[in-house]
Amino acid sequence: MGKVLLFTDGAARGNPDGPGGYGAVLQFTDSKGQLHEKTLSAGYVRTTNNRMELMAAIAGLEALNRPCEVELYSDSKYLTDAFNQHWIDNWVKNNWKRGKSGPVKNIDLWERLLKAIEPHRVTFCWVKGHAGHPENERCDTLATTAADGDNLMVDEGL
């Protein structure tokens, strides 16, 4: 199982309901020590920051064409804590309900993310945003550039 580093970030202007985007950087070092890198980004007409954080992780994982050991780095506690604090397990067990707080938001993307994770072994790592982490800064630039770009897509789940 190859090891992949996946760095992700999401952005939304006028969150919620403004334009948004995501950015992801995939890195893989082959057996010869050669670094291979792929960047992904897309923008949406109207979305939320949390949806873009999830989309960045989804896009990165869906880009992998074989099972991998993935270290996923994100500045989103919403994303990393869902797995590291096992919120997602309880949400699924409780049919996407959060007790008295009502239904979980973004169920469509959480379900898509769970499917994208299935073939892989994924470790979620939190990094402080806007703190000089090079790959996180790159992902932020990818996300904000996508949000400010042309040809924005429609976020069907919003």
| Helix ranges (DSSP H) in 5-106 | 49-62, 77-84, 87-93
In a domain, 42, yes or no: yes
What is the domain extent for residue 84? Answer: 2-147
What CA–CA distance (Å, rounded) separates 64 from 41? 15
State residue 58's pLDDT score.
98
> pLDDT digits over 133-158, tens only?
999 999 999 999 999 999 999 999 98
In a domain, 134, yes or no: yes
107-128 CB burial, b ≥16 within 10 A, e <16: eebbebbeebbeebebebeebe
In the predicted structure, residue 93 carries a pLDDT above the cut 90: yes
What CA–CA distance (Å, rounded) separates 76 from 53? 7
State residue 130's pLDDT score.
86
Give how many domains the chain has, as a whole number: 1
CATH of the domain at 31: 3.30.420.10
- pLDDT band of 127, cuts 50, 70, 90: very high
Mean pLDDT of the chain: 96
For the segment 24-31, the average pLDDT, to the nearest whole number, is 97
78 token code pair: 């919403």
In a domain, 152, yes or no: no
In a domain, 46, yes or no: yes
Phi and psi at 124, nearest 5°, equal -95, 125
Instruction: Tell me: is residue 75 an annotated ligand-binding position.
Output: yes
For the segment 64-80, the average pLDDT, to the nearest whole number, is 98
State residue 14's pLDDT score.
87
Instruction: Tell me: is residue 137 an annotated ligand-binding position.
Output: no
In a domain, 32, yes or no: yes
**Strand ranges inside the chain, DSSP E:** 2-12, 18-29, 35-47, 68-74, 121-126
In the predicted structure, residue 17 carries a pLDDT above the cut 90: no
- pLDDT band of 99, cuts 50, 70, 90: confident
What CA–CA distance (Å, rounded) separates 10 from 44? 11
SS3 content of the chain, % helix, strand, coil (to 5): 35, 35, 30
In a domain, 154, yes or no: no
In a domain, 16, yes or no: yes
Instruction: Tell me: is residue 9 an annotated ligand-binding position.
Output: yes
State residue 16's pLDDT score.
82
Percent of residues, the chain, with pLDDT higher than 90: 91
Q: How many other CB atoms sit within 10 Å of the CB of residue 47? A: 29
In a domain, 153, yes or no: no
Scan for tokens 């949400």, then name that residue: 91
State residue 31's pLDDT score.
94
Query: Annotated catalytic sites, by residue?
Result: 9-10, 53, 75, 130, 140
Question: Comparing C-alpha atoms, which of 51, 52, 42, 49 is closest to residue 14?
Answer: 49
